[in-house]
Chain A
């Protein structure tokens, strides 16, 4: 990779040991992908729940925070994805003390490095939405795909070590979705259905993700009859990224880089797949293996204020016989409290959690501690993840999920 004077100084250690560690990691990744040079980035977003880091990752973070006598700090706004717990609800989840200790140690190290603990995977709804053409180093696949597709920003999937490195150096290797050529469509879809609910949007994203197949695929989608809102695109993108490792899609006439099919080279592609309501329903039915429910979870991505408002409406007049968890960000939670949504949800027997995400919070151990196996959710992303954690996840509408919390059965 071609390095400018500052990057060479970082690599030589002139700007401190921490910057040196960071840029050496970035060069290894950049060399793998044949990056010509670095591109400056304006924001970094770090996925770093301690279930992923483990003891070794937390020790690495602590060593990094201690590595420079001068106290190395991130150079650009650097924020965090959901953590592995909501400390206020950890006892309810039956999380072990060691999990909380590990979380506190990681938080302490991040704070010493200057990272802002926003603990959110919906920063594009709550912190600052990126702008078209803005180069970023974002973690969380749902954040990346939304930023790339809906905002027209430019980011690869940046795992925790790489996103932190970008925060520390203020740049990232220039490859993948930082390049114009990578943003052209590679596979063309024709959609003959317009999803009506968030679970349907997620299921549609999942279908497209599975068919598109890998990170370097860029789906362009025609045929949507209307303009979906932010929460719909949140579920659509998060599921597409989850099922297919997709980082960018285009919706013709809707997303900013594809006002016309030819803007992204789509006219040169044959229609590879036609997707109808039956395909969306089939994905959902594939998870309908039982109707008994142990727990209802709304999470992945964290809920917007509007989603919480809707859940609160659905909770009125009910009394739950199964736990219902609604997970949001620390930015949304105060408004959820202030507008009375938390009181209404918890009044029915539910719980509103903040700053975590269900699957990032020791989901396997939490399942064992609580006897949870059969889980209902309206998140296609969550059902795609939780099978590997030993759950039997079921995908249903928000209304069906709330009803399941009341009856113990998914209708």
Chain B
């Protein structure tokens, strides 16, 4: 009993500093932000900030259904997820499988991983110039196929997609590295047994590799989804959400409400929306971790 008490006491000493930091820098700001989202211009508690934000065209622009982009930052984030998430996951897995055991594969993987290593601000600047008409490498490639060169980030129909595909290039290294590590944990005996049974490479991929990489896939999907919900720096530096808001995203809109309009109530609403979305996205990962522990 005394030993248990002593252990608890020591546990407390070690956990208190971290707990203090967590409370001060995470819990308190989160609670305060949620509270701020309900404080209106007069200082009273109401839902007026939520009404203003969710009825704002910056968040949801139904005019887009008739004329095209912009559709509002909420829809843009959803589109980002719908395109970026599967692409990054599939491309990352494919690269990990293709480069496994290949001579020079390590060097190729390192080059691909550079996108993750560089600051996203730098990545955003690179994306901006990659899609430029006169100096962009993307146009160089497209012109070899006879397509017309243009500054893809300057047009409302292509600005968001340029950023999304640019971010696939930046983020694929993350999924590739995780899958590469995951592939090393799959025992070779499984593949040997499958080969003996006459299984094709495709069958081995779908029946052995992918199922056994499920925990990695959960991590990749969750982390990528969390990043996509919070994406800001690439958009800020490459297009500033333009032209005409057609590449605007929630995090950038939160910034504009807070630091251009100086309306911290509306900014807090968007922050709450992003936080709630990320919590929802993190549930599968937490559940998966819990299942593994059991």
- Do A and B assemble together? no
